[in-house]
C-alpha cells in the first residue's frame, strides 16, 4: 500500500524529558503538537530563516510586556544581537520601559488583592505586577523635563522623538550604574528606529499634551511615521533583500507594521508584493473580525504578505510572556549576531528613495 503524503511528518515520540535539557532541544524535540508545535514552528522560522543577513526585521509590541521585565530580558538582547531592525510599540510599553532605567522598581504580586486597598495605599496594579504611585509621578516628571529641552521644541516623527529620549535614558542608566534595562536606551545605541502608532494613547503622549498647554512646541508627526516605515520596508526589498515581521500581540502596532505594504502598493502606487516572513504570537480569536486575530492568509488579500511566501508564516496562540523568552533564548543559542543595520541613521536617504519611487509611479499612472 502507498503511504499517504500526510504521514510524512516526524513521528511523535513520547520520550521523557531529560534533566537539565537545553531550551533548543526542548523546543525542537518536545514541542510536538497544538500551540507548542506552533511555537516551535515560529521559533524555528525566526531563527533559521528570518535571521538571514538580507532580512530586515520589524518587531511589534502590544500588551504590558515591559512592566513584566521583557524589555530588558528579551528585546534588549535581540537588539544587541542585531536580530531586530525596527520596532513599533504601544506608548505604554515605552513609558513603563523607562521606569527601570531611571531607578524605579516594580514588584511581583497577586492579581487577587483588593484594589480599593491598593488605591488607599498608593499602589498601582498591572494584573500581578505592583508598584508605587510615585513611580508614575517621577516618570511623568522625567518626560516633562525632557520635553521642555530646546531640542524638542519642533515637530518630529516618533522615531526621532524616541531616539532623542533614548539618549537621555542611556545617560541616566550610566549615572545610576544600571545596565541593559531600557529598550529605548539600547535602541538609541544601536540606531534602531522605534515608532508608536498611537502616540497620544499613553502616559508619554499625555505628558506631551500637558506640555503643549504650557506653550512648549513638541508635535509628533504621524504622517512622517507612516512614510518612514514604508520607506524602511521598500528599501529592504529594493536592495535585493527581504522583509520580516515579528508580532507580539496585535492591535494598533501590528496594523501599523503591516500597513507598510498597502501604503507602498495601494496608496503610493509602487510595484511591490508584500512582506516575506510573518510570525505572530497572539491570544486573539480570528472569528471576531479584529485585526489582532487576523491571519497571514487574510493579510495576503490586503497585499500585506507576499502570497508566494505564505508557507513562511506562523501564528502561535499563546501568551507573549511565555513565547518571547523561549524565542529569544532559542535564537541567541542558534544564531550568531548579525551586523546591526542602524536604520535610524539612514532614514533621510530612505525617505528620498520613497519619494522618487512615488513620483515615478504617479508619472506612469498619468
Catalytic amino acids? 304
Q: How many CB atoms lie within 10 A of CB 5?
A: 7
Q: 166-177: buried (b, 16+ CB within 10 Å) or exposed (e) per residue? A: bebbbebbeeee
Report the alpha-carbon distance of residue 16 to residue 30 in Å, rounded.
9
C-alpha torsion 154→156→159→161, nearest 10: 20
| Residues whose CB is less than 8 angstroms from the CB of residue 361 and which lie 6 or more positions away in sequence, other chains included | 268, 269, 270, 271
Report the alpha-carbon distance of residue 91 to residue 236 in Å, rounded.
26
Return contacts of 283-290, CB within 8 angstroms, 24+ apart: 283/317, 283/318, 283/319, 284/250, 290/250
Report the alpha-carbon distance of residue 322 to residue 306 in Å, rounded.
29
Rounded to 5°, angle at Cα 147 from 158 and 345:
40
Rounded to 5°, angle at Cα 186 from 162 and 26:
125
DSSP code string of 27-83:
HHHH--SHHHHHHHHHHHHIIIIITSTTEEEEEEE-SS-GGGTHIIIIIHHHHHTT-
Q: Which of 177, 173, 176, 168 is nearest to 143 (CA)?
A: 168
Amino acid at each position: 500500500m502507498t503511504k499517504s503524503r500526510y504521514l510524512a511528518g516526524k513521528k511523535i515520540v513520547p520520550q521523557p524529558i531529560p534533566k537539565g535539557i537545553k531550551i533548543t532541544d526542548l523546543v525542537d524535540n518536545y514541542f510536538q503538537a497544538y500551540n507548542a508545535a506552533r511555537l516551535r514552528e515560529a521559533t524555528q522560522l525566526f531563527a533559521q530563516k528570518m535571521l538571514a543577513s538580507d532580512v530586515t526585521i520589524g518587531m511589534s509590541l502590544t500588551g504590558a510586556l515591559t512592566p513584566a521585565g521583557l524589555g530588558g530580558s528579551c528585546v534588549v538582547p535581540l537588539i544587541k544581537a542585531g536580530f531586530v531592525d525596527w520596532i513599533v510599540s504601544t506608548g505604554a510599553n515605552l513609558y513603563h520601559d523607562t521606569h527601570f532605567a531611571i531607578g524605579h522598581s516594580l514588584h511581583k504580586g497577586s492579581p487577587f488583592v483588593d484594589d480599593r486597598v491598593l488605591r488607599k495605599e498608593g499602589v498601582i496594579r498591572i494584573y500581578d505586577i505592583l508598584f508605587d504611585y510615585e513611580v508614575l509621578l517621577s516618570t511623568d516628571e522625567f518626560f516633562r523635563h525632557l520635553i521642555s529641552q530646546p531640542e524638542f521644541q519642533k515637530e518630529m516623527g516618533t522615531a526621532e522623538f524616541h531616539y532623542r529620549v533614548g539618549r537621555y535614558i542611556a545617560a541616566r542608566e550610566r549615572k545610576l550604574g544600571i545596565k541593559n534595562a531600557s529598550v529605548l536606551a539600547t535602541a538609541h545605541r544601536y540606531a534602531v528606529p522605534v515608532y508608536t502608532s498611537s502616540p497620544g494613547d499613553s502616559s508619554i503622549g499625555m505628558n506631551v499634551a500637558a506640555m503643549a498647554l504650557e506653550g512648549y512646541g513638541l508635535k509628533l508627526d504621524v504622517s512622517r511615521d507612516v512614510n518612514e516605515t514604508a520607506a524602511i520596508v521598500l528599501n529592504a526589498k529594493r536592495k535585493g533583500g527581504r522583509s520580516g515581521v515579528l508580532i507580539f500581540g496585535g492591535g494598533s502596532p501590528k496594523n501599523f507594521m503591516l500597513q507598510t505594504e498597502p501604503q507602498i502598493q495601494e496608496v503610493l502606487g509602487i510595484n511591490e508584493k508584500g512582506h516575506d516572513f510573518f510570525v505572530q504570537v497572539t491570544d486573539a480569536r480570528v472569528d471576531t473580525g479584529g485585526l489582532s486575530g487576523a491571519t497571514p492568509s487574510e493579510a495576503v488579500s490586503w497585499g500585506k504578505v507576499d502570497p508566494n511566501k505564505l508557507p513562511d508564516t506562523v501564528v502561535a496562540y499563546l501568551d507573549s510572556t511565555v513565547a518571547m523568552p523561549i524565542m529569544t533564548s532559542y535564537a541567541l543559542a542558534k544564531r550568531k549576531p548579525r551586523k546591526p543595520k542602524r536604520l535610524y541613521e539612514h532614514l533621510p536617504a530612505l525617505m528620498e528613495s520613497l519619494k522618487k519611487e512615488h513620483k515615478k509611479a504617479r508619472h506612469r499612472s498619468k
